[in-house]
Amino acid sequence: MSNMQVKYLGSLRCEATHSDSGNQIITDAPKDNHGKGEAFSPTDLLCTSYASCIISIMGITAKNKNILLGDIQADIEKVMASNPRRVAQIKVKLIVWGSYSESEKATLERAARECPVAMSLHPETEQRITFEYKE
């Protein structure tokens, strides 16, 4: 179990602390929602968590299936909606370096789509994942 704490710092800024490690993250409200936009917004973190989870689950799967996993980069696009204000769509382009068989690609891609964050998102939040493999 992991515990976190969030403190309001004023001016629509928060500081989150991970209890086990002491690591901290600052969040700001985005410019289009009364904030300064000087740090990740909470919805930015949602989308970043999604991509990070995808990559982590791909890594776990690769380790369990003896797949040599190369570097991975996720480019993330967040699409907001209003009434109510929410993340309507998360687009993640995964660039995966290395040489993989079609079977290995299918295994990694299936794992990516079943990460815990993906399974926790609202069903109306559209999730678009694309994969680009580079040797």
Domain boundaries of the chain, sorted by first residue: 4-33, 47-134
Would you state the CATH architecture of domain 47-134?
Answer: 2-Layer Sandwich (3.30)
Closest by Cα among 96, 14, 25 to 61: 96
Q: What is the pTM of this model?
A: 0.93
3-state secondary structure of 23: coil
Report the pLDDT averaged over residues 107-112. Answer: 98
pLDDT in tens, 4-41: 999 999 999 999 999 999 999 999 999 989 999 999 99
Quote the mean pLDDT of the chain: 96
Cβ atoms of residues 71 and 135 within 8 Å: no
Tens-place pLDDT, residues 36-45: 999 999 999 9
pLDDT (0 to 100) of residue 26:
97
In angstroms, the CA 108 to CA 129 distance is 12
State the pLDDT at residue 34.
93
- Helix (H) / strand (E) containing 59: helix 42-64
Q: Is the pLDDT of residue 1 over 70?
A: no
